[in-house]
Amino acid sequence: MAIIGLCLAATAMAVVLRGLRAEYALALSLTAGGLALVGIILALEPVLSEIADMTMVSGIGPENTAVILKVMGVGFITQLAGESCRDAGESAIASKVELAGRVSILVLALPVFGQVLQIVSGLLRL
Amino acid sequence: MEVDLIFKIAAIGIIVSVLNQVLTRSGRDDQATMTTLAGLIVVLMMMIYEISNLFTTVKSVFGL
């Protein structure tokens, strides 16, 4: 609830500032986005440890859950940065940021692809 | 701590823009741009502190 209040207050301030001085609106929206994301992630933390325990039981290897968590983190940050760039009117930079996020997610997910290939080839050989 | 930081940044922005108007009206244009830049630097420093706080939180939670 505090996060929603914070975001609404920040939006109101950003609209005022955009009329007076546009560069402050960007700084304010990025700070508000950062604060809200910190609040959300801290609220998400118990859920993540719960998910990690559940995946332990279900036999998915610990490194796979680590990859899942990392990909979520990269996704959060990339989305925040990309949307902030787009808010400031720089959609070209925003698309580059999102491309960088996708590439880093791909790099993170490569070992999982390798495992899938091994499993599939194992099945085919039977 | 969270919400008053937003209000601090907004207050700095409004004060600097008002100051800018006053300075340009009184003919000191160079000082006007100086104050705008100074206000912007202060706001960016606060923003950078918050963003680094965000990055460390994400690193610790998601193990990046």
A48-105 pLDDT, tens digit each: 888 888 877 777 777 788 888 899 999 999 999 999 999 888 999 999 999 999 999 9
Name the average pLDDT for chain A: 88
Q: Are residues A116 and A86 in the same domain?
A: yes
Q: Is residue A100 part of a domain?
A: yes
pLDDT of residue A2: 83
pLDDT at A61: 72
* pLDDT at site B2: 73
- Please state the rounded mean pLDDT for residues B31-49: 91
Position A37 in a domain: yes
pLDDT, position B1: 63
Question: Does A96 share its domain with A121?
Answer: yes
Q: What is the pLDDT of residue A83?
A: 93
The reply to whether A28 and A66 lie within a common domain is no
Is residue A66 within 8 angstroms of chain B, CB to CB?
Answer: yes
Q: Are residues A66 and A89 in the same domain?
A: yes
Query: Which of A28, A30, A69 minimises the CB distance to B51?
Result: A30
pTM, entire model: 0.83
Domain range for A31: 1-46
Q: Is the pLDDT of residue A39 over 70?
A: yes
Domain assignment present for A53: no
Specify whether A64 is located in the same domain as A89. yes
Number of domains composing chain B: 1
Task: Write down the H helix ranges in A21-90.
Answer: 22-57, 62-87
The torsion of the CA quartet A67, A68, A74, A80, rounded to 10 degrees, works out to -170
For residue B51, name the pLDDT band (cuts at 50, 70, 90): very high
Same domain, A65 and A41: no
Nearest to B20 by CA among A10, A32, A17, A87: A17
Give the integer Cα–Cα distance in Å for A77 and A80. 5
Query: Domain check: are A40 and A95 in the same one?
Result: no
Q: Does A105 touch chain B (CB under 8 A)?
A: no
Signed CA dihedral, A102, B47, B62, A36: sign only: negative
Q: What is the count of structural domains for chain A?
A: 2
Q: A116 to chain B, minimum CA–CA distance in Å?
A: 23
Chain B CB within 8 Å of residue A4 CB? no
Q: Å from B30 to nearest chain A CA?
A: 17
Same domain (yes/no): A123, A69: yes
The whole-chain average pLDDT of chain B stands at 89
Write down the residue that tokens 């402050």 correspond to. A24
Range of the domain at B51: 3-62
How far is it, in rounded angstroms, from Cα A106 to Cα A4? 32
Task: Look at residues A99, A98, A60 and name the one whose alpha carbon lies nearest to residue A81.
Answer: A98
Share of chain A above pLDDT 90, in %: 36
- Look up residue B48 and give its amino acid: I
Q: Taking residues A16-36, what's their average pLDDT? A: 88
A64 with A40, same domain? no
Chain B touched by A17 (CB under 8 Å): yes
Query: Do A70 and A40 share a structural domain?
Result: no
